Structure 1
Amino acid sequence: MEIQSTFIDGCFILKPRVFDDKRGSFFESFNQKVFEEITGLKVDFIQDNQSVSKRGVVRGLHFQTGDYMQAKLVRVVKGEVLDVVVDLRPNSKTYKEHFSIVLNDHNNFQLFVPRGFAHGFITLSESAIFSYKCDNYYHKSSESGIIYNDPDLAIDWKLDASEIQLSEKDKDLAFVKDLKL
């Protein structure tokens, strides 16, 4: 497995080594020992989640606050998404900056999202199965988020606005400038 740094401190791209043959393929999606040796980070994942989304669905930009912040390791099992993270760590040199990457079932890349980040994605394929590991349990009253089309972030979601689908909850998320972190 190759682990590549991004311009945002603590955010890593994991690129597995894929073994293909006439039967199909195999790859190790996570190895804690290798992750810790390369990144210097100790992470204990305790919850796995999975969603299925249609083309144009935006899920996010979500985050947990306080004692319930979560680090995540995200990947696409089937399909393709644009995955987006926003650094919400006030003391970070990349505070309120975002990073995006295409994750799909061809490149098999994963993104490690440290605690203190908002996270979201848009489905670019007809549908996508999205999977992620978390290092803390979900806690409803600690949930927050940023509206996907926040002009201060100016995220290019890669699809026309007419194709974007949001949950009712995600339509009412805050602008980054209005967050009290």
Structure 2
Amino acid sequence: MSEESKSVIVLLGYMGSGKTTVGQELASVLSYVHIDLDDYIESSENSTIAEIIDQKGIIYFRKQEMTHLEMLLKRSEKTVLSLGGGTPCYYDNMNLVNKCSNAASIYLRANVPFLTDRLFIEKEHRPLIRSIDDKEELAEFIGKHLLERSIFYDMADFTVSIEGKTPQQLAQEIRTLV
């Protein structure tokens, strides 16, 4: 797969795996535009994801996610697209990504202890885990989620382990793959 043949590089993985940070770095390295799907939806809806879910429900949000994903995959402008952690797991989103001939998907994989350490210190900013006060309980929650989501994450074209790597190193590694 050559860099020229893929106009959209899709980053996916669990929350805290660095999809946005790595996406920004990769876009800079490749001279692509970076779009974070959650930010894009918030801008389109003029509300935060939490507000959208509170006011219109999770089903409405997931439908918006799918609609915007489908539209963004059709972009002719070279784009690095960072998905929300749950995006690949709903509707037919991963098949949508995989059927897109101009897209390459990268799973930013991290293990449970790594994610637990990273997310525990920033959980106040993560509505899904905000109420979890115990690190062991958080690890159990992440492990269960990863198990449920792995079937979708593993559908990515490439998998990159993120532990012990800087965003710059990850961007360079991904650059060699796409």
Q: Which has the higher contact order (CA 8 A, sep 6+)?
A: 2
What is the TM-score of this pair, normalised by structure 1? Answer: 0.29
More helix as a share of residues: 2
What is the TM-score of this pair, normalised by structure 2? Answer: 0.29
